[in-house]
Chains A and B, each alone.
Chain A
Amino acid sequence: MKKRGYKKIIPYIYSFPGLALIGLMIVFPILYTGYISLTNMNVYHWFDFQVIGFQNYMKALFVLDTGFLTAFGRTIIWTIVNMVLQMVIAFIIASLLNVEGLRLKGLYKTILMFPWAMPGYISILLWKMGMFNTEFGLLNHWLNKLGFANVHWLNSNNIAFASSVMVNLWLALPFMIMIIDGALQSIDKAYYESATIEGAGYFSKARKITIPLLRPIIAPAVVITIFTTFKQFDIIYLLTQQQGSKTGADIHTIITYTYEKAFVTNNYGYSSAISIIIFMILIIFSLTIRGRLKGGDVDA
């Protein structure tokens, strides 16, 4: 009897250190943030804060001025635009990489992986200084050589949004390309052969064989990328909102908006409440799209 009980416990003992680490580094901060959101921790009560209940949430939800709603809407648009572009472009590039008899495939893949290997912070700043700078950036340099006037890449809202999408695609495509490339290689060639025999063209093959078979494989990657894109802070912040070099464009997403409104005030109770609200939005989001991406059967 004792031996059986012991054997049951062993898996838990083995996984305990890993679980403890995850608990400490992921679960505990979330719980602590939840706790702080119920207190009045701010500059005036830094170490001697008290629990004040849901007052911070009331403040966050009722002082939901149009700024917050605009930022929320813009974040949704940002996520959709980026995801659609990412998936389409990554699919095209991955398909091209898998063309029969392509030489130097390894070289192309290595070059395409570069953006992913560079530290994000530095890449974004290089884009800002080296590419988008109005007087000295590379893009305007090229435009001038072609006879066009300087474009203000980051100063007005719409153009700044497009520029940020460009940078996000540059940073995020390698991951998508790699995933789709791997998925494409795992599709059984027999499907394509029988489709060719039945007279299917390239687009029919893509629509009826490739995409349905890709869906279950790339589903996890797509979900991860949706979340990462939704929470994207670096790009918008470093390109347009960095203290000391703001560009005049107001393309706040929900996270940069929260940062500027809540975190700068050093009101940790309030900021924690907003963080928990965003966290809840993401959880609801993940529950609603679970299962939507599962495909798997080839359409006849």
Chain B
Amino acid sequence: MKKLLAILLIATLCMSTIVGCGKKKEEDKDTTSNLESENTSGDKKEEAKEPTHIKIWYETQEAIAEELQKELDKLAPEIVVSVERKEKLTETLKLVGNDPSSAPDMYFFAHDKIGIFAEMGILSPITNFIPESTFDDFIPMTVSAATYKDQIYQLPIYFESLLFMYNKALMKEAPRTTDDLLAYMEANTKDGNYGFVEQHSTAYFTVGWIHAYDGFVINDKAEPGLDLKETKDAIKYHKQFVKYMPIDGDYNTMTTLFKEGKAHSTIGGPWLIPDLVENGIDIGIAPMPVVNETLKAISPFAGIQGICVLKGAESKKEAVAKVLEQLSKPDIGINLAKAIGSAPVNNNCYEDDAVKSNEIVMTLKKASATAVPMPNVPEMDVMWAITENLLSSVNKGDADPVTASDEAQKKALEQIEAMK
């Protein structure tokens, strides 16, 4: 009896390990038969019977995926697009990017990973599928964001940046300059209430201040700029504001303070707005305060979300081209603006009344003139941690901005060397 039980258990163990492999073989068979049918059948009628399958991965809000699916369903029945959610999208692409049977044909993500994936050799330039003239109507900043080493790798669809938000019930008028903001914070920060809160020691948020001084974290030649006089001045100036904010400066604390009406204003992304509206906050959006010393507004990073094509999809060139063409039309931009309040990259979308009347979208459009896209060079990956360490040590740990910046620049150069 015992022997029989032992044998049964071993058999189950072996079966379960084989079953996993079995499924993969079936998937391989499916994709190869698809490719075969495309290559061998030259007759258009026969191709129409065999629809081309395109898979697009995404990791963002469901609402966006729904709009994409709706838009691309218009291409049925010749082209069947399935928009699928993939957790840990970028990590998975690093693993399977060069394997056409496991990788998707396209993916929807922010533009900052373009550099890494292009260097890994898994991306196909968009201009292989659609002409460059498609980008003529796009906001120029978004096209340069999608370009790496003079090749365009992404079809931008919408962009997002940070906004200056204030609680209309607590703050009558948003300050125009940063000195005004500092004075406001001094007068209004007491008893657990704060005039202004932000994630003061994260690279993504502080970069807006650095750009206002004409400094930068890293440029498109992959040169870090942490020891520039401009960057140091920005960090020194910004430190005064940290005094009037909770020292931890993390996302949860700051958002909760603003949501519960304990903070009069904040800098945050448009993604916060649905939650704030639900909490009954009367949100006002204002242009970013201008730094008195440089007369430039706080210019945060912009993230451009769009579609990239993987090398493996080159065998389905025509289908991919049609998908990209469909998404370069104004429709998707307008629908997304209506659904989630995102700012489309296509200038033609701004003719639409629904878009024109959306305050947030129009503020973002104005900001796009000064917003700086996140660097898409692979070297940016190491800059996040280094910049954040620098800011934390200065804002939370009393380090001297000048020496800390010089050290951070040294570390950045070391890390960039270590990447090679």
Q: Does A186 contact B (CB under 8 A)?
A: no
B176-204 interface with A by 8 A CB criterion: 192, 199, 201-202
- Does B396 contact A43, Cβ atoms closer than 8 Å? no
Pick out which of these stretches binds chain A: B74-82, B273-281, B315-323, B384-392.
B384-392
Q: Can you name the residue of chain B whose Cβ is closest to the Cβ of A67?
A: B411
Q: Which residues of B contact A46 (CB under 8 A)?
A: 94, 97, 119-122
A29-48 interface with B by 8 A CB criterion: 42-44, 46-48
Query: Residue A129 contacts which of B6, B122, B252, B385 (CB distance < 8 angstroms)?
Result: B252
In order of increasing CB-CB distance, the 10 nearest A-B pairs are: A248-B396, A248-B397, A46-B120, A248-B392, A245-B250, A246-B392, A265-B419, A135-B246, A17-B13, A155-B396
Q: Compute the total of residue contacts between A and B using a CB distance below 8 Å.
A: 103
- Does A247 contact B253, Cβ atoms closer than 8 Å? no
Give Cα A267 to B420, complex, Å.
7
Q: Does A21 contact B (CB under 8 A)?
A: yes
Given A21-B13, A43-B378, A262-B418, 13 new contacts (CB under 8 A)? A14-B10, A42-B419, A43-B119, A43-B120, A44-B119, A46-B121, A48-B121, A135-B247, A136-B253, A243-B384, A244-B199, A245-B249, A248-B396
Q: Which residues of A contact B199 (CB under 8 A)?
A: 244
Q: Which residues of A contact B201 (CB under 8 A)?
A: 246, 248
Query: Residue B250 contacts which of A43, A48, A244, A266 (CB distance < 8 angstroms)?
Result: A244
Type the 1/0 row for A118-133, where 1 means its CB is closer than 8 Å to any CB of B: 0000000000010001
Q: Can you name the residue of chain B whose Cβ is closest to the Cβ of A137?
A: B248
Give Cα A63 to B411, complex, Å.
12
Q: Does B313 contact A (CB under 8 A)?
A: no
- Does A43 contact B419, Cβ atoms closer than 8 Å? yes
A7-34 interface with B by 8 A CB criterion: 14, 17-18, 21
**Known pairs A43-B120, A266-B381; A156 contacts B418 (CB<8 A):** no
Q: Does A270 contact B (CB under 8 A)?
A: yes
Q: How many residues from B make CB contacts under 8 Å with A?
A: 42
Q: Does B98 contact A (CB under 8 A)?
A: yes
- Does B397 contact A155, Cβ atoms closer than 8 Å? yes
- Does A266 contact B378, Cβ atoms closer than 8 Å? yes
Give Cα A261 to B397, complex, Å.
21
In the complex, what's the smallest C-beta–C-beta distance from B206 to chain A, in angstroms? 12
In the complex, what's the smallest C-beta–C-beta distance from A70 to chain B, in angstroms? 14
Which residue of A14, A261, A264, A267 has the most chain B CB atoms within 10 A of its CB atom?
A264
Q: Which residues of A contact B120 (CB under 8 A)?
A: 43, 46-47
Type the 1/0 row for B387-420, where 1 means its CB is closer than 8 Å to any CB of A: 0110011011100000000000000001100111
Q: Which residues of A contact B393 (CB under 8 A)?
A: 248, 250
6 residue pairs from A and B, CB less than 8 Å apart: A48-B121, A136-B253, A152-B396, A248-B397, A260-B385, A261-B418
Q: Does B89 contact A (CB under 8 A)?
A: no
- Does A249 contact B397, Cβ atoms closer than 8 Å? yes
Q: Which residues of A contact B1 (CB under 8 A)?
A: none
Q: Which residues of B contact A21 (CB under 8 A)?
A: 13, 17
Q: Which residues of A contact B121 (CB under 8 A)?
A: 46-48
In the complex, what's the smallest C-beta–C-beta distance from A250 to chain B, in angstroms? 8
Q: Does A134 contact B (CB under 8 A)?
A: yes
Q: Which residues of B contact A59 (CB under 8 A)?
A: 418
Give Cα A135 to B242, complex, Å.
14
Q: Which residues of B contact A129 (CB under 8 A)?
A: 252-253
Q: Which residues of B contact A246 (CB under 8 A)?
A: 201, 388-389, 392
In the complex, what's the smallest C-beta–C-beta distance from A204 to chain B, in angstroms? 49
Q: Does B54 contact A (CB under 8 A)?
A: no
Type the 1/0 row for A201-231, where 1 means its CB is closer than 8 Å to any CB of B: 0000000000000000000000000000000
- Does B385 contact A134, Cβ atoms closer than 8 Å? no
Query: Residue B248 contacts which of A43, A48, A135, A243 (CB distance < 8 angstroms)?
Result: A135
B258-298 interface with A by 8 A CB criterion: none
In the complex, what's the smallest C-beta–C-beta distance from B340 to chain A, in angstroms? 22
Q: Does B19 contact A (CB under 8 A)?
A: no
Q: Does B382 contact A (CB under 8 A)?
A: yes
- Does A244 contact B13, Cβ atoms closer than 8 Å? no
Q: Does B228 contact A (CB under 8 A)?
A: no
**Known pairs A42-B419, A243-B385; A14 contacts B397 (CB<8 A):** no
Q: Which residues of A contact B397 (CB under 8 A)?
A: 155-156, 248-249
- Does B251 contact A155, Cβ atoms closer than 8 Å? no
- Does B418 contact A247, Cβ atoms closer than 8 Å? no
Q: Can you name the residue of chain A whose Cβ is closest to the Cβ of B99?
A: A47
Give Cα A210 to B399, complex, Å.
50
Type the 1/0 row for A247-260, where 1 means its CB is closer than 8 Å to any CB of B: 11110000000001
In the complex, what's the smallest C-beta–C-beta distance from A24 to chain B, in angstroms? 8
Give Cα A43 to B395, complex, Å.
33
**Known pairs A155-B397, A266-B381; A44 contacts B420 (CB<8 A):** yes
Q: Does B116 contact A (CB under 8 A)?
A: yes
Q: Which residues of B contact A248 (CB under 8 A)?
A: 201, 392-393, 395-397
Give Cα A134 to B419, complex, Å.
36
Give Cα A136 to B121, complex, Å.
47
Q: Does B14 contact A (CB under 8 A)?
A: yes
Q: Which residues of B contact A264 (CB under 8 A)?
A: 381-382, 385, 415
In the complex, what's the smallest C-beta–C-beta distance from B122 to chain A, in angstroms? 8
Give Cα A135 to B384, complex, Å.
26
Give Cα A136 to B420, complex, Å.
43
